[in-house]
Every structure is written in structure tokens, then in C-alpha cells.
Amino acid sequence: MNYNKNDILNYIKKNTKIKKKKINNIINNFFIEIYNYLKNNNIIKIYGLGQFLISKRKGKKWKNPITKKIFYIPSKKIIKFKVSNKLKKEINKI
């Protein structure tokens, strides 16, 4: 089952008296803030959920098995998500 932004919006709307447009603005601003923090190589910690962090993947050589031609794959930054211990314990209870 997928849970998307619209599902979050509908859940909040159902459980509060806040208008849908205002909830949408709050969610959008939250995602923009996460995006900007990650873009600047910051770590985002959300208690009980986990943390988003930027990691650097090393460059490497790769050989095409058919043509035997060697390519270089450059290093790049990747986003990682580390699950909190609290969430791990909750998931493993199921």
C-alpha cells in the first residue's frame, strides 16, 4: 500500500478543522524545507521515524561484459534514510 501526500492531506483534514488549502500549504512548505536542508548537506532528524542524510558514493571503474570496454562511473552524492531504533522495534513487533 502506498501512502502519498494527498493521503496525508485528507487524514489531517478529516481529523482537524483546518481548510484543505492551508493544509496543502503546510505540507508543501514542510517538503520544501526538507529539500533545502538536504540540498545544503544537512542531516534531518525526525524523532521516532529516522534521519535523512547525504552520503557520497565513490567513483568506480566498470567493464562492459560484452564489449570489454571500461567506463568510469563518477562519484556522486546520494540521499540515505536511517530508520530510528524506536520504529525498528515497532515494525518487528508485527
What one-character-per-residue DSSP string does 29-83 give? Answer: HHHHHHHHHHHTT--EEETTTEEEEEEEEPPEEEE-TTT--EEEEPPEEEEEEEE
Once rounded to an integer, what is the mean pLDDT over residues 50-76? 93
Is the pLDDT reported for residue 50 higher than 70? Answer: yes
Of 45, 42, 55, nearest to 85 (Cα)?
Answer: 45
Q: Calculate the alpha carbon distances from 50 to 18, 74, 88 in Å.
A: 27, 29, 10
Domains and CATH numbers, the chain: 1-40 (no CATH), 44-94 (4.10.520.10)
Mean pLDDT of the chain: 92
- Alpha carbon distance 2, 14 (integer Å): 19
Say if pTM beats, i.e. exceeds, 0.85: no
Res. 42 pLDDT band, cuts 50 70 90: confident
- Whether the predicted pLDDT of 51 surpasses 80: yes
